[in-house]
Amino acid sequence: MVTEDDVFAVLGNPIRRRLLVLLLTFGELCVCELFYAVDLPQTTVSRHLAVAREAQLVETRRQGTWMYYRLHRDLPPWVSRVIAALKLAPSQHTFSADEHRLAAMPNRPIRDDEPRGPSCCG
């Protein structure tokens, strides 16, 4: 069960806020998309995602060697609203920059239900 303390502990970190806003905006994303979007090393992003996962804010799906993240499907609606409200915060320009970087990412991963082509995630 997600608690207020867990939610705000996760949201207390700016990197985790950025990751959660990306997941809210785009749905499921590969870890490679997330570290590309926030322009940080994969190990840093994975560590922050592990914290969010432990707090039950995100869940994962493995496809081959890559891990995909999305907001937890049983997330209470109030948590989704809090994450959505972050886009109105003074730091919203950071979220927009992350979204633009992700949109410009070359060779984004291919989902199982998409046509095949080049992919950064193999």
The per-residue pLDDT for range 11-30, each reduced to its tens digit, is 999 999 999 999 999 999 99
Could you give the domains of the chain? Answer: 4-103 (1.10.10.10)
| Cα R_g (the chain), whole angstroms | 14
Would you place residue 115 in the very low, low, confident or very high pLDDT band (cuts 50, 70, 90)?
very low
User: Cα separations (Å) of 11 from 20, 64, 69, 72, 77?
Assistant: 9, 30, 17, 15, 16
> How far apart (Å, rounded) are the C-alpha atoms in residues 78 and 71?
13
How is residue 111 annotated by DSSP?
A: P
pLDDT above 90 for 109:
no
